[in-house]
Amino acid sequence: MKNKRRDFLRLSGLIGLSTLLKPIEGLSKDSEVRDMSFMSSGTAGFNMCGYSAPKIDNVRVGVIGVGNRGQAAVYRLSQIENVTLKVLCDVQRDKIDFALKRIKNSGQKPKILTGSEDWKRVCEMNDIDLIYIVTHWALHTPIAEYAMKNGKHVCVEVPAATTVDEAWRLVEASEANKRHCMMLENCCYDFFELLTLNMARQGFFGEIFHCEGAYIHDLKENITRKNFKWHMWRLKENYERKGNLYPTHGLGPVCQIMNINRGDKFDYLVSMSSADFMLGQYVEDLAKKDDFYQPYVGKDYRGNMNTSIIKTQKKKTIMLQHDVTSSRPYSRIHLISGTKGTAQKYPLPDGKESGRIAVDHTGWLPKEEVEKLREKYNPAIIKRIGELARKVGGHGGMDFLMDWRTIDCLRNGLPLDQDVYDAALWSCIFPLSEESIKNRSKSMDIPDFTRGNWKTNTPVDVTLSKGGNTGIKDISKPQKEDFVL
């Protein structure tokens, strides 16, 4: 076979492997399903962790997918100096028109493309440095892979991949072409998450041995809203796929804190889901009032709550949950447990800046003590542009922090905070949890996408110890909060 680095199949944990490797509906027809193993036996390619691409003074961007989140991304990017929006590409012209209205006073004059295959044209253009992908999930990997093969850096929405095969394709394309592939995991840039990352880097928590993350968000109305998502793709995902469909919001921040791929790696997971007690009935109730929903009645919907447990090579654990259909208050959890301290965000009793910290079992520190720690450990990126980020918007400002930091790294020739191995690893929990559930919570080996380089890769640094010279346009007033996380 062409690819020698995964030249055998590890027998343990491979029941139903064909399901893991099968692309979901909508993937490019020429997707190649090759021989795979969860744990590679081959030699690593070029190591993209810590890679510094040549500096780009003015980052020329092509945005593919301008519905909902894409519109917000276009606006945010227009507020960063030394960014040129070259192309907006979407099959729905009305979505592009809405995005253009949001940037009408920015001076940006992007080209417009609306053909179903025009994303390929965008990737092939010679005057673009970065492809920013905000489409439905099925196109994330095909576009990202094609873009890197055409010499472009890539930012791709979550999840970056929906199968193990897709995850490997992203890794191989990034390594072969020496192009960044960053998943747009915005929660890594939320304020308390950045605070706890900096605290962990400075040893406040001691040895961290357990973390928790989640995506608990009642989205029944969102995912069933008529034609809100292209061809109702998000609703279809909830009966065509099972397991933790959306693992990265809770997982990304704790992986950075635990130095996953940079000193430790995932070993295996087990996953379990409840039955569906709400979404199916919700769709039935909609169908009683509107025949539009009849094709979605009687489907075997994904269970309300999925819980997955991950064990790392260094015998540490992560608990990860996913629930988008029950009536629970919003929570991403974000819990850090170490030998010297603990931190927890969510639930949020007193606003979005909540976050609790403890140094022993007697209880959480008083709010004034937490504020002192926040002042001491807040990283430079928050101190410098945190308030401006809140004005620009994007889930309280973390989306803008992510975009600004990414552009700043590209302009200064710095490694990105997230690399292709993070994108592949965090995304592959989706199909692996699915396979575990199908087999009575069987443990599933998790691939080492770094192929051994995790042992010497160094931790991510988002403290602005380097770079930080990218400008921001004047924001006179806060923007209306953007779409759901």
The predicted-structure confidence for 269-279, as pLDDT tens digits, reads as follows 999 999 999 99
Residue 461 belongs to some domain of the structure: no
Q: Which of 170, 185, 200 is where one domain is finished? A: 185
Give me the pLDDT at residue 372, please. 96
Do residue 279 and residue 342 come from a single domain? yes
Do residue 132 and residue 219 come from a single domain? no
- Residues 304-357 pLDDT 10s: 999 999 999 999 999 999 999 999 999 999 999 999 999 999 977 665 557 999
Residue 17 belongs to some domain of the structure: no
Low pLDDT (below 70) residues in the chain? 1-44, 349-353, 474-485
Cα atoms in the 13 Å half-sphere on the side-chain side of 94: 2
Do residue 130 and residue 196 come from a single domain? no
Of 49, 56, 269, residue with least CA distance to 153: 56
Do residue 255 and residue 399 come from a single domain? yes
* Cα–Cα distance measured from residue 134 to residue 65, given in angstroms and rounded to the nearest whole number: 5
Rounded to 5 degrees, φ, ψ at 443 are -70, 140
Give me the pLDDT at residue 348, please. 74
Of 246, 427, 211, 430, residue with least CA distance to 333: 211
- Cβ–Cβ under 8 Å, residues 87 and 77: no
For residue 403 the two structure tokens come to 């975009």
Do residue 305 and residue 262 come from a single domain? yes
Residue 460 belongs to some domain of the structure: no
Q: Which of 140, 158, 185 is where one domain is finished? A: 185
Give me the pLDDT at residue 349, please. 64
Q: Which of 185, 208, 229 is where one domain is finished? A: 185
Give me the pLDDT at residue 347, please. 77
For residue 162 the two structure tokens come to 């929906």
Residue 374 belongs to some domain of the structure: yes
**Secondary structure in 3-state letters for 389-416:** HHHHCCHHHHHHHHHHHHHHHHHHCCCC
Residue 5 belongs to some domain of the structure: no
* Cα–Cα distance measured from residue 410 to residue 141, given in angstroms and rounded to the nearest whole number: 21
Cα–chain center distance at 64: 17
In sequence order, which residues have a C-beta less than 8 Å from that of residue 108 and are 6 or more positions away?
A: 78, 84, 85
Do residue 121 and residue 227 come from a single domain? no
Do residue 178 and residue 230 come from a single domain? no
* Cα–Cα distance measured from residue 16 to residue 14, given in angstroms and rounded to the nearest whole number: 6
Residue 47 belongs to some domain of the structure: no
Of 369, 333, 327, residue with least CA distance to 348: 333
Beta strands in 158-262 (DSSP E): 181-183, 208-216
Cα atoms in the 13 Å half-sphere on the side-chain side of 439: 19
Do residue 354 and residue 426 come from a single domain? yes
Residue 241 belongs to some domain of the structure: yes
Number of domains in the chain: 2
Do residue 100 and residue 194 come from a single domain? no
Residue 21 belongs to some domain of the structure: no
pTM, two decimals, is 0.90
- Residues 434-467 pLDDT 10s: 999 999 999 999 999 999 999 999 998 887 878 8
For residue 48 the two structure tokens come to 């993209």
Do residue 181 and residue 191 come from a single domain? no
Do residue 246 and residue 388 come from a single domain? yes
Query: What CATH number is attached to the domain comprising 278?
Result: 3.30.360.10
Query: What CATH number is attached to the domain comprising 112?
Result: 3.40.50.720
In sequence order, which residues have a C-beta less than 8 Å from that of residue 421 and are 6 or more positions away?
A: 48, 49, 171, 261, 449, 450
Cα–chain center distance at 477: 28
Do residue 290 and residue 418 come from a single domain? yes
Structural domain range at position 400: 187-455
The H-assigned helical ranges of 50-163 are: 69-78, 93-102, 118-124, 140-149
- Cβ–Cβ under 8 Å, residues 263 and 460: no
* Cα–Cα distance measured from residue 99 to residue 112, given in angstroms and rounded to the nearest whole number: 11
